[in-house]
Amino acid sequence: MTQNILIIGSGWLGLPLAKSLINQGHQVTATTTSREKISNKILPIIHLNTDDDASLASINDSFDVMIITIAPQRKNPEHYLEQLQTLHQLAIRKKFRKVLFTSSTSVWGNNEGIVNEMTTMMPVSESAKAMVSFEAMARDASEYKATIIKLAGLISGERHPGRFLAGKTAVDNPQAPVNLVAKEDVIGLISQIINQQQWQQSFIACAPSHPSRYEFYTQAAQQLNLTPPAFSSNNQPSKHIDGQATARHLNYQYKFPDLLTWLSLH
């Protein structure tokens, strides 16, 4: 079923997601805070400033689905909750029927061991606390149906993990499991949610494989001919994000289930 979709944010994830959904037959418009992107010829991109009432008012009410892909700003993380609250009000005002929010596995903060969709969230950072607050707000909304997908660490060719820790010294937790997901699989999972009409749900996007930090980041740096990180012997309890219930529920086969294989291809 063709749907009219508004994607909030046309960055690293939002833009390729928009292109993929268009290729699947949906009508898609994306927003940006950068006017330079508005000339994009592939899809409609409109300027949106969540701090400006006139900008918000300019959004029309023809959309079936709003997908929120904006990430918190590192320099101003406390502003993130304000943005999300504004988008919640926008969805109500414009009578959007469905909202999909790309949250983060950081909402599990200091949880240890196996973490899945049923694990109690324990946010630590301000941005993670904002995500948890918005999830509760969206879940309780009677005006629209919301689905949350919590993303593990995002990787792609242009966001190569070989640069994450290259050259660093005394890096802790060498034996901790890596919790990452390829951009293609995030797009694939979101597409399944949209196409299967999976609303009022909570999902996880995380590759099924979990190599150790030592193995993964050493190989990742070597792949780019960078200096591998030097790890300490300090190992602390850590999280193992299990997204397999999501994959089964959505009948989704990961394109990159093995993160070491992903490295060998990038």
- The pTM of this model reads 0.95
Answer whether residue 22 is part of any domain: yes
115 neighbors 239 (Cβ within 8 angstroms): yes
Over residues 148-207, the pLDDT tens digits come to: 999 999 999 999 999 999 999 999 999 999 999 999 999 999 999 999 999 999 999 999
Our count of domains for the chain comes to: 1
> Taking 70 as the threshold, does the pLDDT of residue 40 lie above it?
no
Q: Which pLDDT value is given to residue 164?
A: 95
224 neighbors 160 (Cβ within 8 angstroms): yes
The predicted model gives 60-73 an average pLDDT of 93
The predicted model gives 20-49 an average pLDDT of 84
Q: How confident is the model at residue 5 (pLDDT cuts 50, 70, 90)?
A: very high
Answer whether residue 176 is part of any domain: no
> Taking 80 as the threshold, does the pLDDT of residue 74 lie above it?
no
Q: How far apart are CA 265 and CA 259, in angstroms?
A: 10
Q: Which residues contact 47 (CB under 8 A, 6 or more apart)?
A: 31, 32, 33, 35, 38, 55
Q: Which pLDDT value is given to residue 131?
A: 96
Instruction: Tell me the one-letter amino acid at 209.
Output: S
Answer whether residue 15 is part of any domain: yes
Answer whether residue 236 is part of any domain: no
The predicted model gives 126-132 an average pLDDT of 95
Answer whether residue 135 is part of any domain: yes
What is the per-residue burial (b if ≥16 Cβ within 10 Å, else e) of 95-121? ebebbbbbbbbbbbeebeeebebebeb
Question: What strands, in cross-sheet order, belong to the sheet with 45-47?
Answer: 45-47, 27-32, 4-8, 65-68, 98-104, 145-151, 202-205
Q: How confident is the model at residue 42 (pLDDT cuts 50, 70, 90)?
A: confident
Q: Which pLDDT value is given to residue 46?
A: 87
The predicted model gives 244-255 an average pLDDT of 98
Domain that holds residue 140: 4-162+181-209+243-258
What CATH number is attached to the domain comprising 93?
3.40.50.720
Distance of CA 92 to the CA centre of its chain: 23
Over residues 131-147, the pLDDT tens digits come to: 999 999 999 999 999 99
Over residues 77-103, the pLDDT tens digits come to: 779 999 999 999 999 999 999 999 999
84 neighbors 77 (Cβ within 8 angstroms): no
Angle between helices 126-140 and 79-93 (to 10 degrees): 20
> Taking 80 as the threshold, does the pLDDT of residue 39 lie above it?
no
